């Protein structure tokens, strides 16, 4: 038989900081090579021309230009257009 009552909240981990996900550069903004455009869990946004997707689904610019968001076949796509 257990000698302690169930701990509940006291046994759980402390509060942790959020992971700062979301859109970092919006449509029409300038980006340089390597700048992060979107941090996400899973592929809510897909990588388009001028962008690549990292192993944690982060979308980043591979060329300098202007960010553009659009939809194609029901998928949200992020691209970078040279200016």
DSSP assignment, residue 21? Answer: -
- Cα torsion 55, 59, 64, 68 to 10°: value is 160
What predicted TM-score, i.e. pTM, was given to this entire model? Answer: 0.81
33 Cβ contact list (under 8 Å, min separation 6): 61, 62, 63, 64
What's residue 4's pLDDT? 66
Q: Which domains are seen in the chain, by residue range?
A: 21-81 (2.40.50.100)
Average pLDDT, the chain: 91
Q: How confident is the model at residue 5 (pLDDT cuts 50, 70, 90)?
A: low
Q: Which two tokens stand for residue 31?
A: 């980006």
71 φ, ψ (degrees, to nearest 5): -115, 140
């Amino acid at each position: 038989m257990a000698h302690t009552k169930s701990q509940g909240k006291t046994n759980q981990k402390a509060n942790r900081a959020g992971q700062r996900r979301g859109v970092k550069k919006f449509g029409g903004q300038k980006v340089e090579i390597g700048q992060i455009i979107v941090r996400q869990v899973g592929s809510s946004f897909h990588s388009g021309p001028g962008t690549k997707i990292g192993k944690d689904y982060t979308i980043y610019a591979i060329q300098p230009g202007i960010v553009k968001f659009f939809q194609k076949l029901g998928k949200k796509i992020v691209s970078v257009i040279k200016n």
